Chain A
Amino acid sequence: MNGPHDMGGQQNFGPVDATEKPLFSDDWERRVLSLSLAMGATKAWNIDSSRFARESLPPAQYLASSYYEIWYAGVCKLMLERGLVTEAELASGDVLTPPLDVPGPLEASDVAAVLNRGGPVDRPALQPAGFAVGDRVRTRNQHPRNHTRLPGYARGRVGVIERIHGCHVFPDSNALGEGECQTWLYCVRFDGEELWGADGTAHAVNVDCWEPYLDPA
């Protein structure tokens, strides 16, 4: 989706405020983080679905929201979509409808083990890799309305395969609940000039690209 989250190369957001600040500006931010992680751990949705929920907020809302406001909106959206809660429940905080079964609520005693295990996304290869290190590739000029991890600034550009990461879950399908559809993931190096002409200061930008984003060049 060509959404407001796809920020690479946008201009006029001002300088980076590098001053050191607490991780959480207020306690509610802590709670949003932990609620999001705990709900993610139930496997009621996957990480790609959660990213899609956040980035598909209305653009004006996304840009006007703080980071954890976006997370709050995302988790609410995911739960509403799945019927886990209702709007009236979110507004009141009171249980008004029976809970649905979720695969597994996270117990405090399991937190360390669950976090340590993480969620690896490498999978057995279903076919040989289509590209080798050193191959020239061109990213596809595609504008899907759903989730994708090919940033706008890197579409239709020529780069070189620098590294093969292995076969990873394909977020474009996984975000929609249409399966992991694992496919080869490459680290592609783009010259700064290929991306930005004479107006950039990066010698190169590396972007991780799944095979369906790439054609030979």
Chain B
Amino acid sequence: MSDDHSHLDPIAVRVRALESLLVDKGYVKADALDALVDTYENRVGPRNGAQVVARAWVDPEYREWLQRDANAAIASLGFVGRQGEHMVVLENTADTHHLVVCTLCSCYPWPVLGLPPGWYKSAAYRSRAVIDPKGVLTDFGVSLPEGADIRVWDSTAEVRYMVLPMRPAGTEDMSEDALVELVTRDSMIGTGLALEPTGSAL
């Protein structure tokens, strides 16, 4: 990076000053900052949660464990840590669709889903998810069967919620690994459904 700041936004200049100040004061270590970014940009993401979901789809005992003790069931696949200390898994059914939000800030289950997408942190989502979740689902192109109830979960404490989406029809013969590919991030927040199988996924 050049030391010429003239091309940077004012906020970028201020953040650069902050980082340099905190490193020079000894409060933070530069290589620790890089390791933190690397963790959430490259190592932890919704593929973790997709593995949890696929396992629950193929293994009834695991699914039951997930309902009873989500922390232990998720940790058994190696996913633990910050912003996932107290996990609860919500199972979608034909009658009930769950949707997760944090109206007060941006609480989100990092170990299984990574960092939240921009829209999850937006005023539009935080304000509307609790009063008009059906409208929010429309924004995502999702329409539920007539009569399906929408239940919204506002993450006001350190409990983190993850949705177990319904397993799509026609996937009975698919392997666990192949099923992972059908599990989208949004299907685990409740703003999407698991993908339908395609020729290539089979």
Q: Tell me whether A and B are bound partners.
A: yes
Query: Interface residues, chain A, CB within 8 Å of chain B?
Result: 5-11, 13-18, 20-21, 23-24, 26-28, 30-35, 37-39, 42, 44, 47, 51, 54-55, 63, 67, 69, 72, 75-76, 84-85, 89-95, 99, 102, 105-108, 110-112, 114-122, 149-151, 153-154, 163, 165, 168-169, 171, 185, 187, 195-196, 199-210
Complex A-B: 25 CB contacts under 8 Å:
A5-B104, A7-B104, A8-B154, A15-B139, A16-B136, A26-B12, A27-B12, A28-B8, A28-B16, A31-B16, A33-B115, A67-B106, A85-B22, A89-B21, A105-B29, A117-B81, A118-B83, A120-B86, A121-B86, A122-B86, A185-B157, A200-B131, A202-B133, A202-B134, A204-B151
Assess whether B29 is in contact with A13, with CB atoms less than 8 Å apart. Answer: no
Assess whether B80 is in contact with A51, with CB atoms less than 8 Å apart. Answer: no
Q: A35-B19, A55-B104, A200-B131 are in contact. Are A107 and B32 (CB under 8 A)?
A: yes
| Cα–Cα distance between A205 and B134 once the two chains are bound (Å) | 13
- What residues on A are CB-neighbors of B36 within 8 Å? 33-34, 37-38, 111, 115
- B132 on the interface (CB 8 Å rule)? yes
Assess whether A201 is in contact with B127, with CB atoms less than 8 Å apart. Answer: no
Assess whether B18 is in contact with A90, with CB atoms less than 8 Å apart. Answer: yes
Assess whether B12 is in contact with A28, with CB atoms less than 8 Å apart. Answer: yes
Tell me, rounded to whole Å, the shortest Cβ–Cβ distance linking A154 to chain B.
8
A-B contact count (CB 8 A): 271
Assess whether A106 is in contact with B85, with CB atoms less than 8 Å apart. Answer: no
- What residues on A are CB-neighbors of B128 within 8 Å? 11, 13, 16
Assess whether A93 is in contact with B18, with CB atoms less than 8 Å apart. Answer: yes
| Cα–Cα distance between A20 and B151 once the two chains are bound (Å) | 25
Assess whether B18 is in contact with A72, with CB atoms less than 8 Å apart. Answer: yes
Tell me, rounded to whole Å, the shortest Cβ–Cβ distance linking B8 to chain A.
8
- B173 on the interface (CB 8 Å rule)? no
Assess whether A84 is in contact with B25, with CB atoms less than 8 Å apart. Answer: yes
Question: Of residues 108 to 127 in B, which have CB atoms within 8 Å of A's CB atoms?
Answer: 114-115, 117-119, 121-127
- What residues on B are CB-neighbors of A9 within 8 Å? 103, 127, 130-131
- B26 on the interface (CB 8 Å rule)? yes
- What residues on B are CB-neighbors of A202 within 8 Å? 130-134, 150-152
| Cα–Cα distance between A75 and B159 once the two chains are bound (Å) | 24
- What residues on A are CB-neighbors of B140 within 8 Å? 16, 18
Assess whether B80 is in contact with A165, with CB atoms less than 8 Å apart. Answer: no
Assess whether B18 is in contact with A76, with CB atoms less than 8 Å apart. Answer: yes
| Cα–Cα distance between A93 and B144 once the two chains are bound (Å) | 52
Tell me, rounded to whole Å, the shortest Cβ–Cβ distance linking A42 to chain B.
6
Question: Of residues 25 to 80 in B, which have CB atoms within 8 Å of A's CB atoms?
Answer: 25-29, 31-37, 39-41, 80
| Cα–Cα distance between A95 and B20 once the two chains are bound (Å) | 9
Assess whether A38 is in contact with B28, with CB atoms less than 8 Å apart. Answer: yes
Assess whether A105 is in contact with B35, with CB atoms less than 8 Å apart. Answer: no
Assess whether A108 is in contact with B32, with CB atoms less than 8 Å apart. Answer: yes
Tell me, rounded to whole Å, the shortest Cβ–Cβ distance linking B139 to chain A.
4
- What residues on B are CB-neighbors of A207 within 8 Å? 154, 156
Assess whether B21 is in contact with A18, with CB atoms less than 8 Å apart. Answer: no
Assess whether B152 is in contact with A99, with CB atoms less than 8 Å apart. Answer: no
| Cα–Cα distance between A194 and B148 once the two chains are bound (Å) | 19
Assess whether A85 is in contact with B86, with CB atoms less than 8 Å apart. Answer: no
- What residues on B are CB-neighbors of A54 within 8 Å? 105
